[in-house]
């Protein structure tokens, strides 16, 4: 793409020579042709800048919500991005000035042509235009190089922004999506698929684990439970840690019965896991409770979440370590 644009800029930069041929043979030239040369170069330059931005031709970078921990990273990247935008604007202004000067030279030459009477006078005009063309070509080459450097910077900044946004949407401990990721993905799933189930899960008596064995052991339990969730998730399922010991999984295109089977599979895997803390010290059995609901027609994400959470609460109230389905869909 950039090679093509540079070639186009070079061709347009030689428009002065083409115009000169017309001047010599016809003794006149339409000023609109000069304007076309100038604005043609400006347009292709602008296209060159825009071509490096965004995805899908949108010309913009969409920023997702960020958590406080990654906020400063995104802000710094945005400031650098704005600085490079200003640099490109300055380059374009310089290019516009050069083209304006070139246009004025052509206009003066056009005005002088009817008064030319000798080959020496014509030769002087020719040399002047050739010299001006070389200056403009040098400016074009300089601008093209600067734009290439700016595009490389933009690509790096865009990559840094994407990385910062991804980190801001992930739970640092487990690597699962965080609450903001969950809210976003749930809303998108409800827009894309009318048949969506939501699994809510909560580790039983997790506070007792932290109190007895310490937060390091509690973190280990959270991470390994997240691994079990990820392993059980289907291709389109999205697992997230909502906070503390509470997790959720968005499950598109599945019946509540099948979603319940997945939840029970996760429950049994967790219950059967042997937790050893080194040597002969055993953590004991770790269990979790689950609530599963299917979205009702026209139901909002907030109401859908409340029903799944209510099913989880019933699983806790009924004795924990179980799966409760909300079949009222």
**Which are the catalytic amino acids?**
245
Are 232 and 265 within 8 A, CB to CB?
A: yes
The residue written with tokens 């640099």 in the block is 87
| Strand pairing category for 196-203 and 246-252 | antiparallel
User: 325 forms bridges with which residues in the sheet?
Assistant: 292
- Residue ranges of alpha helices (H) inside the chain are 2-13, 15-26, 31-50, 68-112, 119-168, 179-192, 206-213, 215-232, 256-272, 301-317
Calpha distance 118→225 (Å, rounded): 92
Tokens encoding 138: 């040098």
Please report the sign of the dihedral spanned by the C-alpha atoms of residue 151, residue 154, residue 160, residue 166.
negative
Are 122 and 24 within 8 A, CB to CB?
A: yes
Angle, helix 179-192 to helix 301-317, in steps of 10 degrees: 120
Choose among 264, 260, 236, 262: nearest CA to 250. 236
CA dihedral 102, 106, 107, 109 (to 10 degrees): 140
Choose among 32, 7, 29, 5: nearest CA to 18. 29
Rg over alpha carbons for the chain, rounded to the nearest Å, is: 33
Are 173 and 223 within 8 A, CB to CB?
A: yes
* Contacts for 22 with CB less than 8 Å, ≥ 6 apart: 29, 33
């Amino acid at each position: 793409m950039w090679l093509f644009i540079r070639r186009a800029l070079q061709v347009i930069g030689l428009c002065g020579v083409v115009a000169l041929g017309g001047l010599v043979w016809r003794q006149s030239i339409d000023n609109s042709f000069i304007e076309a040369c100038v604005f043609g170069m400006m347009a292709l330059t602008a296209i060159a800048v825009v071509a490096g931005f965004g995805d899908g031709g949108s010309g913009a970078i969409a920023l997702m919500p960020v958590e406080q921990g990654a906020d400063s990273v995104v802000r710094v990247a945005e400031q650098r991005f704005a600085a490079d935008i200003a640099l490109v604007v300055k380059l374009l202004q310089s290019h516009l000035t050069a083209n304006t000067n070139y246009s004025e030279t052509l206009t003066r030459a056009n005005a002088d042509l009817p008064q030319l009477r000798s080959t020496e006078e014509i030769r002087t005009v020719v040399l002047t235009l050739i010299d001006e063309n070389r200056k403009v070509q040098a400016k074009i080459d300089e601008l093209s190089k600067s734009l290439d450097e700016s595009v490389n910077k933009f690509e790096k900044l865009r990559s840094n922004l994407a990385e910062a946004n991804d980190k801001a949407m992930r739970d640092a401990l487990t690597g699962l999506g965080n609450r903001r990721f969950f809210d976003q993905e749930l809303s998108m799933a409800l827009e894309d698929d009318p048949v969506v189930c939501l699994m809510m899960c909560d580790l039983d008596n997790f506070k007792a684990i932290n109190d007895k064995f310490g937060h390091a052991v509690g973190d280990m339990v959270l991470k390994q439970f997240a691994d079990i969730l990820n392993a059980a998730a289907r291709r389109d399922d999205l697992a997230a840690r909502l906070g503390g010991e509470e997790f959720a999984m968005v499950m598109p295109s599945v019946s509540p019965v099948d979603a319940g089977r997945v939840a029970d599979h996760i429950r049994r895997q967790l219950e059967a896991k042997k937790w050893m803390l080194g040597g002969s010290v055993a953590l004991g059995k770790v269990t979790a409770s689950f609530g599963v609901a299917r979205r009702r027609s026209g139901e909002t994400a907030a109401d859908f979440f409340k029903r799944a959470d209510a099913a989880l609460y019933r699983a806790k109230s009924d004795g924990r370590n179980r799966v409760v389905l909300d079949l009222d869909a």
